[in-house]
């Protein structure tokens, strides 16, 4: 075979592995990290955006924005149905401010409408794979030893408010949509809930904790979470669920201590009784739980973590966060 044939075959194989992706939630915390990794891997990424600001953000990451709102049917649905692979990261906002029961119920209702508008548009299309991003609050309280995806769900925190979305997802899966469901644990990075903790520590504020409760959190670095989702997009089995969490779940107190150490600031904490915590932060955020979860299924697909524990991951995130603050 002439030498150029080898190059051609290699090129063809590479192109065959590249896909046209359509993302919902590509401007969000995990979604934007995913866009960076997917674009770097050579995939063509379209990202649904409901504002010019989000459109500019995804464009800067190398994705093509598609304007639309998941809460409303629109031309974006036909665009989604033309993709090879659809990834759904979008959700109503969860962090920032007090989370009342009424806000959580609005989240529950809106999430179902958003999912339905996207998933119904894909029925009967040639979409090869749908990656649906859920969360481990659905599994909720899980005692040691670490539990896998077959564990009986015991939803806590935001979990009870995503149960209906997961039940609805099951009906789409049963109707034949090629869905892979991923369950990230608490995702820490230079954004979302963890950036609020870093900002508060850096400002020297006292960290409120719940008296007599130091929950065990399953965690994952945002870059590992995005890489794991990209990996499962290619290697996950249709119809399966995958928990995305580190090797060792830390206590909340360890996360605070590691973060203060990486920021080089003193850690000041004050334990408040549950009733006071509920008034300050609301009943959802204070419904804390121990998440002893296993990443064995994810690892069995060949995925390797860059930051397997918070000891490796938190200093990296703090460096990224500090340099973003300095800009």
What 3-state class would DSSP assign to 47?
strand
**Cβ–Cβ contacts within 10 Å for residue 148, how many?**
16
CA–CA dist 114, 73 (Å, integer): 9
**Is 54 one of the binding residues for ligand NAP (CB under 6 A)?**
yes
φ, ψ of residue 207 to 5 degrees: the values are -90, 125
| Partner residues linked to 22 by β-bridges | 46, 86
One symbol per residue from 5 to 34: x for binding ligand NAP (CB under 6 A), - otherwise; what is it? Answer: -------------------xx-xxxxx---
Q: What residues between 56 and 85 interact with ligand NAP by CB under 6 A? A: 69-71
The first and second tokens of residue 17, run together, are 């592995």
> Would you give the binding string for ligand NAP spanning residues 33-52, x where CB under 6 A is met?
---------------x-xx-
Q: Is the dihedral of CA 230, 234, 239, 244 positive or negative?
A: negative
What angle separates helix 163-174 from helix 101-122, to the nearest 10 degrees?
Answer: 10
91 contributes a contact to ligand NAP by CB under 6 A? yes
Minimum CB separation of residue 229 from ligand NAP in Å reads 9
- Regarding 117 and contact with ligand NAP (CB under 6 A), the answer is no
CB of 84 to ligand NAP, least distance (A): 21
Residue nearest to ligand NAP (CB): 28
Q: Is 89 in the site for ligand NAP (CB under 6 A)?
A: yes
295 touching ligand NAP, by CB under 6 A? no
Nearest to 298 by CA among 179, 218, 182, 186: 182
Which positions lie near ligand NAP, rule CB under 6 A?
A: 24-25, 27-31, 48, 50-51, 54, 69-71, 89-93, 114, 133, 135, 184, 186-187, 192
């Amino acid at each position: 075979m002439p030498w150029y044939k080898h190059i051609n075959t290699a090129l063809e194989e590479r192109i065959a592995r590249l896909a046209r992706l359509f993302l919902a939630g590509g401007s969000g915390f995990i979604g934007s990290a995913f866009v960076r990794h997917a674009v770097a891997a050579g995939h063509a990424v379209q990202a649904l955006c409901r504002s010019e600001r989000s459109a500019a953000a995804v464009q800067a990451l190398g994705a093509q924005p598609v304007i639309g709102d998941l809460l409303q049917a629109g031309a974006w649905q036909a665009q989604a149905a033309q993709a090879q692979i659809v990834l759904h990261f979008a959700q109503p906002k969860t962090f920032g401010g007090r989370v009342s029961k009424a806000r959580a119920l609005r989240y529950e209702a809106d999430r179902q409408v958003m999912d339905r508008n996207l998933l119904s548009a894909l029925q009967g299309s040639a979409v090869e794979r749908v990656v649906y991003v859920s969360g481990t609050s659905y599994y909720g309280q899980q005692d040691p030893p670490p539990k896998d995806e077959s564990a009986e769900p015991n939803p806590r925190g935001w979990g009870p408010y995503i149960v209906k979305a997961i039940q609805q997802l099951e009906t789409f899966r049963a109707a034949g949509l090629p869905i892979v469901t991923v369950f990230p644990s608490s995702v820490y990075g230079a954004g979302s809930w963890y950036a609020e903790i870093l900002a508060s520590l850096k400002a020297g504020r006292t960290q409120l904790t719940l008296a007599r409760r130091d929950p065990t959190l399953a965690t994952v670095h945002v870059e590992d979470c995005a890489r794991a989702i990209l990996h499962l997009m290619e290697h996950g089995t249709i119809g399966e669920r995958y928990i995305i969490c580190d090797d060792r779940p830390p206590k909340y107190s360890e996360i605070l201590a590691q973060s203060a150490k990486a920021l080089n600031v003193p850690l000041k904490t004050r334990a408040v009784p549950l009733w006071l915590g509920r008034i300050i932060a609301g009943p959802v955020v204070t419904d804390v739980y121990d998440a002893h979860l296993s990443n064995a299924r994810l690892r069995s697909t060949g995925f390797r973590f860059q930051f397997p524990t918070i000891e490796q991951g938190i200093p990296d995130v703090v460096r990224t966060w500090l340099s973003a603050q300095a800009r």
